Amino acid sequence: MADLVSIIIPAFNQLDYCRQCVHALLANTRPPYKLILVDNASTDGVGEFFDSVPNACVLHAPENLGFAGGVNLGLAQAEGHVVLLNSDTLPPEGWLECMEGALLSDGDIGLVGPMSNCVSGSQRIEGLELESMDAINAFARDLARRKRGQLRDVARLVGFCLMIGDTALAQLGVFDEGYGIGNFEDDDYCLRAVRAGYRLCIAEDAFVFHYGGRTFMGMGITDDAWQALLQDNERRFHEKWRVKPADRSDAAQEARRLNRQARGLLAKGEQAAALRLLKQSMETFPLLEANYNDLGAVLWKMGRREEAYDYFVRAVKLSSGSSEARENLRDAAQALGKTEEAARLLQEYPQDHP
């Protein structure tokens, strides 16, 4: 790559995912790039980890500024083109070369995004299951070979991994922090870019793995709370621009549709097919508690009881108010001799836990 690229990773807690992201980036990204790590006042060691990353520019916010605020803090230190990267992503081999190649292919292109396994809208690759970094790298290499240089113009790109050209950045400036903790600030930025005359393109040969929603999950913003946040910020977007956001297929609604299909299959005794749909639903929208509870139920019927127990635990952590998940956890714990462990968890996550 000829031009300097600044990569900005804002993060609030979720230390394990931050480690995975940074390690993957360091292993799979060729210089020259400037790594800017923004700690949004984390409390679980993320700030200390960021400080340990060699040659990184580390910024510590005094409070959780949300996605836009954290990004803006990083933009003040950026040079050249910029990539915004969520802390729950795994960038594979060649990811940045493909994205920068797309950006530089035409002077009218202002913003570029990759394909992914977990993203709303037209960047999503359906039904993709990748269980290791080796598998992610292999998929990315194959995609780059098959789709080399292919672009697709769109009206919206998702901010989980977003490249902004230096010229576009100079004109568009920073992100609107009025969207609070996150959601729709990327829609807002994309609309501004389109109205300024820039093309928004998906680099179809680029792939970035995304766990999805881990920061929100860590803050307890799941399912209904997630929907409320989306609705509030969509309302703000509409009031500001008087238009509906472009190309935002609702991942949560799609996940619920898949979950309903899986439950129907399970009622018919088609466990393997239900299992596949539940995993697909989980990839589409990781914050839906019902997926984890239902997957636990399927695994229990298949005799995979330890795995089932773990999914019931995750369901309760995601939505402690779910009576079904709590009851399943109690029953599984009794059968497995884990009643004390489950009791501690249920006490830690009471039914009225936010």
> Which parts of the chain have pLDDT scores under 70?
1-2, 217-223, 246-253, 352-354
**Alpha-carbon distance 95 to 140, whole Å?**
8
Domain 251-348 indexed as CATH 1.25.40.10? yes
**Alpha-carbon distance 64 to 201, whole Å?**
31
Cis previous bond, 32, omega within 30: yes
**CATH class belonging to 5-241:** alpha beta
The Cα diameter of the chain in Å comes to 64
**Alpha-carbon distance 106 to 281, whole Å?**
37
**Alpha-carbon distance 126 to 258, whole Å?**
12
Pairing mode, if any, of strands 199-207 and 89-90? unpaired
Which strand (E) or helix (H) includes residue 154? Answer: strand 151-154
According to CATH, where is 3.90.550.10 located in the chain? Answer: 5-241
First vs last C-alpha separation in the chain:
46
Give residue 1's pLDDT.
42
Q: Is the pTM of this model over 0.85?
A: no
Give residue 249's pLDDT.
56
Query: Where are the alpha helices (H) located in 129-200, listed in sequence order?
Result: 133-146, 166-172, 185-195
Give residue 242's pLDDT.
81
DSSP for residue 307: H
Question: Using one digit for the tens of pLDDT, what is the confidence trace for 223-255?
Answer: 677 778 778 888 888 889 887 776 555 566 677
CB burial of 27-43 (b: ≥16 within 10 Å; e: otherwise) equals ebbeeebbbbbbbbebe
Give residue 354's pLDDT.
45
